[in-house]
Amino acid sequence: MEIQGSNYKKRTQKDYSLSLKLQVVQEIKQGLLTPTGTLGKYGVQATSTVRTWLKKYGNFDYQYTIRKDMSKTPEQRILDLEQQVLLLEKQKNRAVHLADRADKKAILFDMMIDYTEKEFNIPIRKKQEPK
């Protein structure tokens, strides 16, 4: 497929010769070309192909590179912390609600047992004797 006014030619992955790969790697190392620039100049399909060539034929050891996340600005950190505070407050309120509900439930069950024991004259609770 040819695009008018361009050197672009659609290629398959096996079309690239070793000399082309080495030339591209050399130009990138010298700073004459960027991996994105190879797309237009040599008709390479993707920058990932060029990165593979750099790993394979370049002398830089990509295995030991350290990916460093961009540090957040103070404003971003403040926003993140505010979001965490809101989430923790919601969780705390939910825990308080559940604890209050459990307390009320226990009181209600005790009242029901007391009423049943009194009304029907039946001992429901076991009295534990010390051993």
Q: What is the pLDDT of residues 31-60, one digit of tens each?
A: 788 888 888 888 888 888 888 888 888 776
- pLDDT, greater one: 103 or 48: 103
Same domain? 73 vs 17: no
* Alpha carbon distance 39, 50 (integer Å): 9
* Alpha carbon distance 123, 107 (integer Å): 18
Same domain? 47 vs 97: no
Report pTM: 0.40
**Largest interatomic CA distance in the chain:** 102
Same domain? 92 vs 119: yes
| Helix 18-30 and helix 47-57, axial crossing angle in degrees, nearest 10 | 90
Domain-located, residue 2: no
Same domain? 48 vs 27: yes
Same domain? 55 vs 78: no
Cα–Cα distances in angstroms (integers) from residue 25 to residues 22, 34, 55, 106, 117, in the given order:
5, 10, 9, 74, 89
Q: What percent of the chain clears pLDDT 90, i.e. is strictly above it?
A: 36
**How many structural domains comprise the chain?**
2
Same domain? 44 vs 82: no
Domain-located, residue 6: no
Range list of β-strands (E), the chain? none
Same domain? 96 vs 80: yes
Concatenating the DSSP letter of every residue in 67-97 gives --PPPPPHHHHHHHHHHHHHHHHHHHHHHHH
Q: What is the pLDDT of residues 67-94, one digit of tens each?
A: 667 788 999 999 999 999 999 999 999 9
Question: 35 lies in which domain range?
Answer: 13-64
For residue 102, give the H/E element and its range: helix 74-120
The predicted structure's pLDDT at residue 1: 47
